[in-house]
Amino acid sequence: MKKLNLVNCLLLVAAIYVNAQQPDFPKLTGPYLGQKPPGKMPKMFAPGIISVEENFEHSAAVFSPDNKEVFWCTNINWYTEKKVAGNLRLYYMKIVDGKWTTPEIFPTTKDKRVERPVFSPDGKRLYFEYGRATGNTDSDADIYFVERKGEGWSEPKPVSPLINSPAMERLHCVTADGSLYFSRDVMLSSEAMFVSRFVNGTFTKPEKLDRSYNSEAPELAMVFGPNQEYRLIAQMDDRYCYVYVSYKNDDGSWSKRIKTPYECGGFLSLSPDGKYLFFLGDGIFWVSTSFIEELRPKE
């Protein structure tokens, strides 16, 4: 316990030091960094703070269930220093004393490539795709998680040997009941969607999902509404990726996918209140989810 407290103290001192080096950083308060919410037209999220011109963002913005933390993946100074993809790192901000801290690299993964952060429903775990070393490719990554330990986080742990395999696993989302949805490279250049249920604190053997999940067009990302009443899918359409929406039918099946106007870069996340969709574009964008009900087929 003393060792853990010492680590947390050192991290706190480091955070204070980082903040002290950025005296011009704006005071950000309120939900979503105090940014003005979008309507039906997507807006870049937190320009100059999270979406930075010199950086290459490579995820959506992912907020904790209590809306007090935000995580995203980025290559710092990508466009000015031409860094390699292996320098992709996980960054975060959180509310301290009523205001958002400056962006910092997540300390327990600072030397590793990280992609696709996803919170558990209770906010006690953060899942992500985790590279084993600097410069790794996607095929080297598996799904890991960290757990909250007081004010800090544990070291990364592999999620389950039933989920991680010699093939590439791509994390999509974790639903309200703790089920983990992911895709696996089952054949060369061919991925299939799976789900692993979370039962008594353990993930079950993954089940390959049916054709309503595995279409002929690649699914690059998938998230579900709070009660799985709908799902949003980033799907390739010719050479471009668009957001599609599908609705849960009374018999538990899924409706036909409906194409939305929103082109994206293959990463999706919903705000904790379900009011906004975050996705990757030329930076990280957000948009009101009012389109979900507007596109729902009429009875």
Hey, what amino acid is at 201?
G
CA distance 131 to 115: 8
pLDDT in tens, 152-211: 999 999 999 999 998 888 999 999 999 999 998 866 557 899 999 999 999 999 999 999
* The CATH number of the domain covering residues in 2-295: 2.120.10
Q: Dihedrals φ, ψ of 229, to 5°? A: -80, -15
Full-model pTM: 0.87
Contact 278, 285 (CB under 8 A): yes
Residues lower than pLDDT 50 in the chain: 1-4, 6-21, 133-139
> Structure tokens of 116?
């696709």
Please tell me the predicted confidence (pLDDT) of residue 182.
95
